[in-house]
């Protein structure tokens, strides 16, 4: 079967492409901006890529098209498909029909931490010998790919007798023709609900609308399944109160399941109330990642991975590309990359990083933490959360912001930070200002959910060349 995918270089659609190729289909695809790392993964999988959305791509005559949710009416190729009444599906619908059916689906939902938690869960299952399939909205360093079919030779847990498939379950809408959240299609048996805040202001009017989608997800879960839910999230408690027919285990609860630890030494301890159940060390930092770990450990236990195996896996877990990823060091200055783009994610990432690098001592000043931010998500572009930005950046010693295409005044929004915030609209000028300001020992954290104009390499080069 030949499948042609519109919007193939997005993390989700690129994962779909790799799964379809692994299943033996011929896969081609197109995108308006074909770039690494997804283009490298697709080329390695033998998937041919086309730049742009020219209508003549219908001449490839695939058996059907898969249309990514970044594709809107007015797209020339989509309009040609509709005019010619050619067969098409959304990515989530194809996934549900051709991959997830017959598997034990383990879904990870929530506003923040989905990619990291999904990667943790898949890695724990892999470490336990369960050989899971997965689709993740990023590239886990331990696997090197964002999607894998797998599962055929799995040893099955006593809880269920089908191979596991771990999926990042996004609440964003499905496609131009289906405005339900993606996760509605997946029908998971085990579901993690990490947290719930307002986001995606381009498609949701308010938090209540997102909670309704989570309620729709809960309504599809079986009585024999499991929900692993963050006890500290009021929004999730409201969702469960609207109706729940599935057993629930709560984490991030000091009276129940939680993971505690220290950022300075990387220790983590799995606790049930005041009882220690196991401990290890890892390379991650932040309360948010410890909560992610608790959720992954509880979900993995359902699949037959005991806590000691799960903790051992976490001690070897190398995180996900673009999640506190060290991109390089120049003149004693380290440059990290992180996907954080929501104020809550920015705040928790910076707070964890600050604790990890320390506050210095009487005789030794602390390392300076320089935050470099590109607010480019649809929610950020609309300015819905602009008033939360100064507080989210409080742990940074200096903030550099690149925001050339916003419809609101970010300089005014960051005014509470005073001279600790510098806004620049030209990326080369931004790199020059950072390189001139930085000094040996500084930790530079670049935060964006896009490519940010290749700033990481530009910055490392500029730092090397700076006097």
User: Buried b / exposed e across 96-116, counting CB within 10 Å, b at 16+?
Assistant: bebbbeebbbbbbbbbbbbbb
CB 382 within 8 A of CB 235: no
Please check whether residues 76 and 138 belong to one and the same domain. Answer: no
CATH of the domain at 293: 3.40.1190.10
Please check whether residues 291 and 161 belong to one and the same domain. Answer: yes
Supply the pLDDT for residue 360.
Answer: 54
Q: How far apart are CA 100 and CA 120, in angstroms?
A: 20
- Which residue segment(s) compose the domain that 70 sits in? 2-91
Q: How far apart are CA 92 and CA 162, in angstroms?
A: 21
Please check whether residues 216 and 121 belong to one and the same domain. Answer: yes
Q: How far, rounded to the nearest angstrom, does the alpha carbon of residue 233 sit from its chain's CA centroid? A: 19
Please check whether residues 46 and 24 belong to one and the same domain. Answer: yes
Please check whether residues 336 and 308 belong to one and the same domain. Answer: no
- 320 domain residue, yes or no: no
Please check whether residues 37 and 132 belong to one and the same domain. Answer: no
Which of these, 28, 65, 63, lies nearest to 45 by C-alpha position?
A: 28
Total count of residues recorded for the chain: 467
For 32, 318, 374, 419, the CA distances from 427, given in Å and listed in that order, are 22, 30, 10, 20
Please check whether residues 309 and 350 belong to one and the same domain. Answer: no
Out of 274, 293, 315, a domain closes at 315
Q: How far apart are CA 126 and CA 174, in angstroms?
A: 29
Full-model pTM: 0.85
CATH of the domain at 17: 3.40.50.720
Please check whether residues 53 and 144 belong to one and the same domain. Answer: no
Please check whether residues 401 and 276 belong to one and the same domain. Answer: no
- 310 domain residue, yes or no: yes
Q: Which two tokens stand for residue 35?
A: 């770039």
The count of structural domains within the chain is: 3
Q: How far apart are CA 214 and CA 194, in angstroms?
A: 12
Out of 290, 315, 340, a domain closes at 315
- 349 domain residue, yes or no: yes
Query: Rounded to 5 degrees, what angle do the CA atoms 442, 445, 450 make?
Result: 155
CATH of the domain at 453: 3.90.190.20
Please check whether residues 86 and 106 belong to one and the same domain. Answer: no
Which of these, 184, 86, 138, lies nearest to 319 by C-alpha position?
A: 138
Q: How far apart are CA 27 and CA 24, in angstroms?
A: 9
Per DSSP, what are the bridge partners of residue 106? 166, 190
- 275 domain residue, yes or no: yes
Please check whether residues 158 and 27 belong to one and the same domain. Answer: no
Residue 139 three-state SS: coil
Please check whether residues 257 and 231 belong to one and the same domain. Answer: yes
- 165 domain residue, yes or no: yes
What's the N-to-C CA distance of the chain in angstroms?
58
Out of 253, 286, 315, a domain closes at 315
Q: How far apart are CA 226 and CA 246, in angstroms?
A: 6
- 96 domain residue, yes or no: no
- 129 domain residue, yes or no: yes
- 437 domain residue, yes or no: yes
pLDDT tens digits in sequence order for the chain, 467 residues long: 999 999 998 889 999 999 999 999 999 999 997 766 677 878 888 899 999 999 999 999 999 999 999 999 999 999 999 999 999 999 999 999 999 999 999 999 998 889 999 999 999 999 999 999 999 988 898 998 889 998 654 444 455 556 999 999 999 899 999 999 999 999 999 999 999 988 877 888 899 999 999 999 999 999 999 999 999 999 999 999 999 999 999 999 999 999 999 988 999 999 998 899 999 999 998 898 999 999 999 999 999 999 999 999 999 999 888 788 899 999 999 999 988 778 888 898 898 888 888 755 556 778 999 999 998 887 777 788 888 888 999 999 999 999 888 888 889 999 999 999 999 999 999 999 999 999 999 999 998 887 788 899 999 999 998 77
């Amino acid at each position: 079967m030949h499948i042609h995918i519109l919007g193939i270089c997005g993390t989700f659609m690129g994962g779909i492409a790799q799964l379809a190729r692994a299943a033996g289909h011929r896969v081609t695809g197109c995108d308006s901006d074909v770039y690494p790392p997804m283009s490298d993964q697709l080329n390695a999988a033998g998937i041919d890529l086309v730049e742009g959305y020219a209508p003549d791509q219908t001449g490839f005559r695939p058996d059907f098209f898969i249309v990514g949710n970044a594709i809107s009416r007015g797209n020339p190729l989509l309009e040609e498909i509709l005019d010619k009444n050619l067969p098409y599906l959304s990515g989530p619908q194809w996934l549900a029909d051709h991959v997830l059916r017959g598997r034990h689906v383990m879904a990870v939902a929530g506003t923040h931490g989905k990619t990291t938690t999904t990667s943790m869960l898949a890695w724990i299952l892999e470490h336990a010998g369960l050989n899971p399939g997965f689709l993740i909205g990023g590239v886990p360093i331990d696997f090197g790919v964002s999607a894998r079919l797998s599962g055929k030779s799995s040893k099955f847990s006593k809880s269920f007798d089908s191979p596991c498939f771990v999926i990042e379950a996004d609440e964003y809408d499905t496609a131009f023709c289906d405005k339900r959240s993606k996760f509605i299609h997946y029908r998971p048996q085990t579901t993690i609900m990490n947290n719930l805040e307002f986001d995606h202001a381009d498609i949701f009017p308010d938090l209540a609308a997102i909670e309704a989608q989570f309620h729709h997800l809960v309504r599809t879960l079986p009585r024999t399944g499991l929900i692993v839910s963050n006890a500290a999230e009021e929004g999730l408690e409201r969702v469960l109160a609207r109706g729940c027919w599935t057993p629930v285990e709560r984490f991030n609860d000091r009276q129940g399941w939680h993971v505690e630890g220290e950022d300075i030494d990387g220790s983590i301890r799995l606790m049930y109330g005041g009882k220690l159940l196991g401990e290890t060390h890892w390379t991650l930092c932040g309360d948010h990642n410890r909560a992610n770990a608790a959720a992954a450990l509880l979900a993995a236990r359902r699949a037959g991975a005991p806590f000691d195996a799960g903790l051992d896996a976490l001690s070897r877990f190398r995180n996900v590309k673009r999640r506190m990823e060290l991109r390089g060091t120049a003149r004693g200055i380290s440059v990290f990359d992180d996907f954080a783009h929501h104020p809550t994610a920015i705040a928790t990432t910076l707070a964890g990083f600050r604790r990890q690098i320390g506050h210095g001592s009487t005789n030794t000043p602390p390392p300076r933490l320089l935050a470099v931010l590109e607010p480019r998500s649809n929610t950020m572009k609309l300015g819905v959360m602009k008033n939360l930005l100064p507080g989210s950046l409080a742990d940074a010693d200096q903030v550099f912001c690149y925001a050339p295409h916003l419809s609101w005044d970010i300089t005014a929004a960051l005014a509470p930070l005073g001279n600790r915030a510098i806004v620049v609209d030209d990326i080369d000028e931004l790199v020059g200002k950072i390189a001139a300001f930085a000094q040996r020992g500084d930790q530079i954290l670049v935060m964006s959910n896009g490519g940010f104009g290749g700033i990481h390499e530009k910055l490392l080069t500029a730092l090397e060349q700076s006097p």
